Amino acid sequence: MPSRLPRKRLLRISQAKKSDVSSWMEGVSIEQASGETVSKVILSVAADRWGLGFEQRRQANKLMTTRPPLYRNAVSRYYYAMYHAMRACCYVSHGGDDHQDHRELPQHIPGDFAPAEDWQSKLKNARTVRNQADYDPYPKSDRAFRTYALALKNDADRLLTLTRNYLRSKGCAL
């Protein structure tokens, strides 16, 4: 049976390493099992990650309304809302989850996500505050994190809207 593949692609297949062939076979298996293309599955997975960010924000909002408010914990949840929402965008834009490291993610915000520079800075700052809230014993007062929690709430609200719109523009069903 003659192949319909171009000679160049056949040559690539003939020289492929076992790990490449295994990856191709897994892709075929994913498509057969899901009934969708790998590209569609990727969009679905990105939508699920964005949903995790949305849930983190919901939890943060709840922490802000307890009596007394749990600002330190809310800071952490707002950061993770932002992190997961942007990680979903990076995953779709870059074609993989290569930049999930917390320090690295802000540097890889998609070029067509505007204004990327602003969100790089906001994500870095949110991570710094989250680290303080999660790891530093001082300040002892939970109330000392109130201003940070309120600022991160605004940032998380805005970023979730922007990332949802971005992912929709790339074909994600959100």
DSSP for 137-171 reads: --S--GGGGHHHHHHHHHHHHHHHHHHHHHHHHTT
CA distance 149 to 4: 58
Q: Is residue 22 domain-resident?
A: no
Residue pair 113/89 in contact by the 8 Å Cβ criterion? yes
The enclosing domain of 54 has a CATH number of: 1.20.120.330
**Structural domain harbouring 63:** 40-169
pLDDT in tens, 132-155: 999 999 999 999 999 999 999 999
Residue pair 37/31 in contact by the 8 Å Cβ criterion? yes
Q: Is residue 4 domain-resident?
A: no
Percent of the chain topping pLDDT 90: 93
Domains held by the chain: number: 1
pLDDT in tens, the chain (174 residues): 567 889 999 899 899 999 999 999 999 999 999 999 999 999 999 999 999 999 999 999 999 999 999 999 999 999 999 999 999 999 999 999 999 999 999 999 999 998 888 999 999 999 999 999 999 999 999 999 999 999 999 999 999 999 999 999 999 998
Q: In the prediction, which pLDDT does 2 show? A: 60
